[in-house]
Structure formats: structure tokens, C-alpha cells
A and B are shown apart, each in its own frame.
Chain A
């Protein structure tokens, strides 16, 4: 299967602190198309830093992040904006959505920035909202949605533009158990149906059990990289 992301000797050192913090240490990982991967590890182990670096939001101190044969670690900020827009979907822990836009508009937003054709955009946005079970909330603004529903809209937005992969940093952290499972199920199903590579970080043991690949970080280094058969 095609490799979507390949990191080599990835390191990140924060020097703006009293003592330099080695948030990532020589991380060598490969992610294949269609994988559904959980990044786990104790607090401060570097999960967020890792996702930020492979998502082009942050620069590694050393090493390479190769996506689509290009090393994004060497890109300029302005190129990265465009790269993220075209290749990567993001889901954050909370406050993902633009408050003044409806669910439908939020889901269309990335496609709008990509200047997709309007009809196609609307069709796709509707389809995605159906996929996440919110076809009755098309014209509702985020403030009228529950936390779980908001995260589902965020997932729909991240996947609507068919990015190369989707990064989600603790997408379930603010949700109750039921909503968390529900969101995970949706992500899992979309991962299968749309064959989109999904990488998410989490603390939640029950959520981890859904993933087919689990990478454990400890002190910024890869401690374990395990594959599981699930259905």
C-alpha cells in the first residue's frame, strides 16, 4: 500500500523554556494509505507536538516529514498554508467550528477555500453531514449543537475535501463516553468507506481499543508500535 507520511529522525526541542524540552526524539514512522492509527502516551509525551509537526503547523528541529514525495519540514510558511489546505484535514479538541456559519457552511468551508465548484461542494457537504448523522441540522449554527454534534461536524469538514490524511488531536477529550464512542464509530466507518488515512491522539483507553494501529510515545520517543485485528 502507498505510504502517505514518512518521518525520519524527527526531533523537536523547545528552547523557549528554562531547560530545553526534548518533545520529540528521533521519531521514524511510516503511515500507509487507509490506516486508522491512535497515538497514545502519558501527558507531555509529545503527542500534540508530533501531530503538529506532521501537519505542517510546527517545524521540527531536525529530521524530515515526507508527504507526497515532498519534505514539508523545508517549506516556507506561505507554502505550508496552501499545503495544509490541499492535503491535510484537521480536527481539534474543541472549538473547531466557525460560530457564525451553519453546519452546512462549516463543512463546505475548506472546499470553499479550495475554490471547488459550488454544486459539487453542496452535494458533498450534504453527503458528509448525512454520513455523520446530522442531515437534520444542515442550517443550524454550532452554538445550537451539542459538543458531540460539533465534533461530528468537524470530522465531516475535515473529510469533505478528501484530504490525503486527517489529523485529530484528542477529538473525544471533551465528550462523554457515549458521544466519544459514537464519534469514533463514525471516524472508523468513514476511514473504511472513504479509505481516508486517520491519525488521532487520545488518552482514553476505551477509544484506543478501536484503533487498528496504536503507537505509544514516551518522553518524545516511540515506545511501542502495535497492529491489532479488529472488526
Chain B
């Protein structure tokens, strides 16, 4: 075995320049693929983080029917059963965010608008999505207050300022009418128009009262210490809850369209990366074929003096693997610092793009990912390509007529 390794290794350097060029082509493909994947994964992670903190959280406990039919009638009871189930998994849950929410009509004098009322605990929301940083005027309520804070768009549409009174009218639990008059205590600004034009925040307890649903929630958001635990934890918590009433939804289940969009994008990136790999694969293929044909006589002689076909095939396979592995290692060594640098110093986006990003609730930076699976993916893919490409000389060697090969 050591002999085969030595032979394969030395054979590589018989034509140094050719080997160098082939290794470089593999390296460039790997570097490009790493940078591409790192960039796309970085953006994806940025978007996922934004979705999780702004919208869904990691995991939600809901009434079984709420996801398909989000009305106040499907508000769940937030009592001992849910609290115990959550407490039993305390070690994995960083904090919980309770919400009761629903559409309402908001009016001031003669103008009326549809708004989305969120009953929340302010410090929990702030921990999840920095709600307090959105406050531009007035003050935020505490859990015990009974005033509302509204988004800037709502304020503009209804011509409301801090200190004014807003009338809210909606549908409460089990057909009850929800109605109330509230003072506007503060104004929030949101980047997304659909948030900015619709959101009204109210203390949780006051909102439960408003919706005639004391002790009930539409969702209890669970923020986890480790996102990858979400699926496992969902199952485990569900076991402690009556599944006739309660269900657990991961962020992926709550946001299926987003997940599908990410998957489509991942597929595009993989196609592009595979184009790179195939180009590199042909480079390797060309080199090993030339290496083989220019040595057929040598092979004939080696086989004549007693080297087995399998040993010779092993040498050729090792040569292919060496070229590929050197290429991939070089690619990772060059690619890693590049993406690490961009990871540590995200690219600040220029004006237009930055605005788009902000509009989507994202930081105006292009962030890169340094997740290890990007690199593992390269190594495995190139390894598989090398194995496939390396089969050609192996097949050829097992059919080689050694007498005529040795004679040429």
C-alpha cells in the first residue's frame, strides 16, 4: 500500500505544470462555490433570523384550529397545563412570549380603519424583536397599563397624536363584541408598510379583557437556546399537552411559503455550484486520461513483471484522488479566509439596496456564513466527482491487453 501511495504521489509530479493547472482548476471551482454558498447562506440566515424574531419565533403553542382558521374563537386557554408543559422543558427554552391578537376597526371621530391589534407583554416583545427601539414618540406601556401604542401609519391615517383617544371595535371570544376606548400613549415606526399601516399594541391583560378572553392566548411563542432543537422539542412538549386542544408549530411550519422560497434558492445555488464542479471534473478527467494514455507501455511492463491489475488501478485512483483532494484543500484554504473576512466585516450595501433591505426588516449588510457544512459539502462533492472520474482509468486498466501495451 505504501508503495502504491509513493508511486501515485511521485507520478503526479512527473508533469508538474499540468498537475498544478488541474489542481488550480479544482481550487478555483471550490473557492467560487464556497464564496457563493457562504453569501447565499449568510443572507438566508439573516432572513431566517429576521423572520424568527419579527414574526414567528422558534416554536409556538396554539389552539389546534388556530393556524388554519385564525379567529378569536380559536384562542387557547393559557393555564396550568400549558405552563407545566413549558416549565418541564425549561432548560431548552430561553423565554416565552405570549400574544393575543386579531383584526379590529379603529376610529377617531368619523374616520375608521382596519388595524391589527396585538396584546403583548412589552418586555418580552422587546427581548424578541426590540420593540422598544421602534418607539419614536410618547412612551411604552407596562403590563399593568391600559393605554395603547400605535404604528406611525395608523396614526397618520387616523390623524392621531400622542394623548388622543382611539376607539377599537372587534370580535371577541365566542361571538362577544369587543369594544373599547383607549388613549394613545406612544407611536412606533416599522420598516414594513404592512406593519406600519396596521399595528396597534396593547398590554396583554387589557387585550384579553378587550377580546373577552381572559386567561387566553392566540399563541405562546417559545424562544429556544438552540434552534436545531425545535422539532424535537415540539414533539416532546406535545406529549404533555392534550392534542385535542393544543398543537405545536415550528417556525418552518408557520412560514411554509418562506421555507419553499429558501429551498428554491438553495436549489439554484446548487445548480450553479455543480456547473463549477463539472467544469473542474472535466479538468481532472482530461488530465488523468492523458496521464493514462502516455503511460500505457509502462503499464504493460508493470503488469508483465507481476504488478496486479488491481494494484495498478489503485495507483491511478490514488492519483485522481490526490489531485482532487489537494485541489479541494487548497480551495478551502483560500476560500475560508475570504468568507471569514466578509463574515467578520459584512459588506455595507449601497443606498438603493440598503433601503430595500431595511424595507424588508433586514440590516443593510450583506452577511456571509462560515457554517462548516459549506466546506464539508465541497470536500464531499469533489471526492465523489473524483471517484466517478477515476473509474474510467480503472475500467480501462482491467481491459488492457498488457502484451500489446508493452510492445507499442
Measuring CB to CB, which residues of chain A are less than 8 angstroms from any residue of chain B?
Answer: 52, 55, 57-58, 78, 81-82, 84-86, 90, 92, 95-96, 98-101, 109-110, 112-113, 157
Contacts and interface: CB of A to CB of B under 8 A. Distances in A.
Contact of B10 (A82, A100, A113): A100
Contacts of A85: 305-306
B301 A96 contact: yes
Residue from B298, B301, B304, B307 with most neighbouring chain A CB atoms (10 Å): B304
24 contacts: A57-B304, A57-B402, A57-B403, A58-B403, A81-B303, A81-B308, A84-B304, A84-B305, A85-B306, A90-B301, A90-B304, A90-B305, A92-B304, A92-B406, A95-B298, A95-B301, A96-B301, A98-B7, A98-B298, A98-B302, A101-B7, A112-B3, A113-B307, A157-B305
B402 A110 contact: no
B108 interface: no
Interface string B379-408: 000000000000000000000001100100
Contacts of A100: 7, 10-11, 14
A185 B304 CA distance: 25
A99 B403 contact: no
A95 B297 contact: yes
B2 to A, nearest CB: 9
A92 B307 CA distance: 16
Contacts of A90: 301, 304-305
A85 B297 CA distance: 18
A57 B305 CA distance: 9
Contacts of B297: 95
A85 B406 CA distance: 17
Interface string B1-12: 001000100110
Interface string B72-97: 00000000000000000000000000
Contact of A113 (B298, B306, B309, B402): B306
A212 B10 CA distance: 42
Residue from B297, B302, B307 with most neighbouring chain A CB atoms (10 Å): B307
Interface of B: 3, 7, 10-11, 14, 297-298, 301-309, 402-403, 406
A84 B306 contact: yes
9 closest Cβ pairs, A-B complex? A85-B306, A100-B10, A84-B306, A90-B305, A81-B308, A113-B306, A112-B3, A57-B403, A90-B304
Residue from A81, A84, A99, A101 with most neighbouring chain B CB atoms (10 Å): A81
A42 B402 CA distance: 24
A96 B402 CA distance: 14
A92 B301 CA distance: 8
A4 B402 CA distance: 25
Contacts of A58: 403
Contacts of B306: 81-82, 84-86, 110, 113
Contacts of A95: 297-298, 301
B212 to A, nearest CB: 87
Nearest to B307: A113
B202 to A, nearest CB: 80
Nearest to B11: A100
B337 to A, nearest CB: 34
A43 B193 CA distance: 94
Given A81-B309, A84-B304, A95-B297, 7 more contacts: A55-B304, A58-B403, A81-B306, A81-B308, A85-B305, A95-B298, A99-B14
A96 B300 CA distance: 10
Contacts of A112: 3
A88 to B, nearest CB: 8
A113 B302 CA distance: 11
Residue from A55, A100, A101, A109 with most neighbouring chain B CB atoms (10 Å): A100
Contacts of A98: 7, 298, 302
B403 A52 contact: yes
Residue from B10, B298, B306 with most neighbouring chain A CB atoms (10 Å): B306
Nearest to B408: A95
A99 B304 contact: no
Nearest to A80: B306
Nearest to A85: B306
Nearest to A83: B306
A156 to B, nearest CB: 13
Contacts of B305: 84-85, 90, 109-110, 157
A117 B309 CA distance: 23
B10 to A, nearest CB: 4
A9 B304 CA distance: 24
Contacts of A55: 304
B196 to A, nearest CB: 71
A112 B302 CA distance: 13
A55 B306 CA distance: 11
A95 B406 CA distance: 9
Contacts of B309: 81
Contacts of B308: 78, 81
A106 to B, nearest CB: 10
Contacts of A92: 301, 304, 406
Contacts of B7: 98, 100-101
Contacts of A101: 7, 10
Contacts of B10: 100-101
A81 B302 CA distance: 11
A154 to B, nearest CB: 10
Contacts of B406: 92
Contacts of B303: 81
A87 to B, nearest CB: 10
Residue from B402, B403, B406 with most neighbouring chain A CB atoms (10 Å): B406
